Chains A and B, each alone.
Chain A
Amino acid sequence: MKLRKDCRVTGLRDKYLLVIPSGDGERNLEVNAGFHDIWEAFAGRNFTLGDVSDHLCKEYGMEPEKAAAEASDIIGLWKEYGLTEQ
């Protein structure tokens, strides 16, 4: 899967904004630094659940089991907000 290329996370100082274009305008959501960092790691490329899990292990020192659960939650959130494409 991939993250939608028309969705962007913009950062300024310690604030981050996710802009989600849609047919009837756009949606702006304030997100945190963690969201931004993970988004930047996967924007513009194909990835799997395993890739996200490995990233969490490597970047945040998570145990594999916890990382897999977190990765699943993150991807679930992305799908819920319509941020992914196949």
Chain B
Amino acid sequence: MERIWTDRTIDAFFILLRSGLEEKDIEHPLILTEEEWEDILSVSAMQTVTGQVARGIAHLPAGNDVPDMILMKFMKKTDHIVRTSAIISEVRDKLVSAFRSGGLDPVIMKGPESASFYLRPELRESGDLDIFFPGDSFEKACDQVSSMGIIMDKAPDGSVRYLFEGIEIDQHQKYFDLHTERQLPEVPGPYATLLMLSSHILKHCMTAGVGLRQLCDMAMAYRALEDSYDKTALAAMFERTGLESWNKLLASFLEKYLGCRSHPYSQDELRDPTVLMDIIMEGGNFGHHAVGRQKAEKGPLSARKKDTVARMLRRLPFSLKYGRKELFCYFAELVRGNL
């Protein structure tokens, strides 16, 4: 994807994003051209963090000029985000209630769970709902969905997708995007949430791409859950699951760009997160904005799959370094799912 923004725009973007995530005032004014403000609006949308950047704008010092049109555009987008969040919350409650009346207990994961870690949950963009059912209850849940007259599509990883009250539901039988069975933490729980978020980001880094929203989720989860876990135990869990290098890289990014120090590593364990920044900036929001991806998504399914494979091959050096075992498993899953 061509870079459309200047280093100054990127620096300003991250200042605003950090401020919005922490709801902290920005000390110095940001003097930007109207074009640079438009770029910030554009990057915010691509990275699905418009709500958080808008909050950052609210925290600019008094007298910091921001073009009226930019303010209007941010307000319109955040209004839409808040409305969608309310709809998803309502649908989530209805769906959970429906499953519970059938004796089942879904675990809400990813988007809506992550939103709860934010200081302003309603501003965390969500488009769908992810729910998890362990063991046998997954098939029972599928039976219950069928009995409601809803048609499900099966994904290569064994999850199913369907529409419920107009919202896309991803129903999972695997909580973690991992193929190791080594002493995985209990679900639900803080260790499980952090491992799930971390492995999910890694999976997308190795495949279609990932956006800042997911990194923000991780940062906010680290902060919100800080008193609920032991950092030594967390680091040990990451090591046990073969994701120590990956989580050190992730922590480095979260600290450098999002100001998050609530991770389990010391300064000398952190590393240069540039490679992760490059992946994020390539597309944003699971790579949907990368030029090739947008074209592929408008084409047939085969084009999308071809694009995904091409990306996986491009990211091979990264994947071999940070997620070797998972990479081979993802390839196998992709092949099995498409036979």
Are chains A and B native binding partners rather than an unrelated pairing? yes
Residues in chain A within 8 A of chain B (CB atoms)? 8, 10-13, 15-17, 19, 28, 30
In Å, the complex CA distance between A12 and B79 comes to 11
- In the complex, are the beta carbons of A8 and B79 less than 8 A apart? yes
Q: Check if B76 is an interface residue, CB within 8 A of chain A.
A: yes
Residue of B nearest to A21 (CB): B83
B315 to chain A, nearest CB (A): 37
Find B82's partner among A8, A11, A17 (CB 8 Å cutoff): A8
Residue of A nearest to B66 (CB): A13
Interface string of B65-79 (1 = CB under 8 A from A): 010100110111011
Contacts of A28 in B (CB 8 A): 72, 76
A69 to chain B, nearest CB (A): 31
- In the complex, are the beta carbons of B82 and A12 less than 8 A apart? no
Chain A interface, >50% SS class: strand
A27 to chain B, nearest CB (A): 11
- In the complex, are the beta carbons of A17 and B57 less than 8 A apart? no
B332 to chain A, nearest CB (A): 47
- In the complex, are the beta carbons of B76 and A15 less than 8 A apart? no
Contacts of B82 in A (CB 8 A): 8, 10
18 further A-B pairs in the complex, CB-CB below 8 A; given A12-B54, A13-B60: A8-B82, A10-B79, A10-B82, A12-B57, A12-B71, A12-B74, A12-B78, A13-B57, A13-B66, A15-B68, A15-B71, A17-B72, A17-B75, A17-B79, A19-B76, A19-B79, A28-B72, A30-B72
Q: Check if B58 is an interface residue, CB within 8 A of chain A.
A: yes
B104 to chain A, nearest CB (A): 32
In Å, the complex CA distance between A24 and B57 comes to 31
For this complex, 18 residue pairs linking A to B, each with C-beta atoms less than 8 Å apart, are A10-B78, A10-B79, A10-B82, A12-B58, A12-B75, A12-B78, A13-B57, A13-B58, A13-B66, A13-B71, A15-B68, A15-B75, A16-B75, A17-B75, A19-B76, A19-B79, A28-B72, A30-B72
Interface size grouping (class) on chain B: 10 to 19
Residue of A nearest to B54 (CB): A12
A29 to chain B, nearest CB (A): 11
Contacts of A11 in B (CB 8 A): 75
In Å, the complex CA distance between A55 and B58 comes to 27
Contacts of B60 in A (CB 8 A): 13
In Å, the complex CA distance between A8 and B82 comes to 10
The 4 closest A-B pairs by CB, nearest first: A17-B75, A10-B75, A15-B71, A19-B79
Residue of A nearest to B64 (CB): A13
| Most chain A CB neighbours (cut-off 10 Å) among B68, B75, B78, B83 | B75
In Å, the complex CA distance between A58 and B324 comes to 67
| Most chain B CB neighbours (cut-off 10 Å) among A8, A11, A15, A16 | A15
Contacts of A12 in B (CB 8 A): 54, 57-58, 71, 74-75, 78
Contacts of A16 in B (CB 8 A): 75
Residue of B nearest to A11 (CB): B75
Contacts of B78 in A (CB 8 A): 10, 12
B52 to chain A, nearest CB (A): 13
B15 to chain A, nearest CB (A): 16
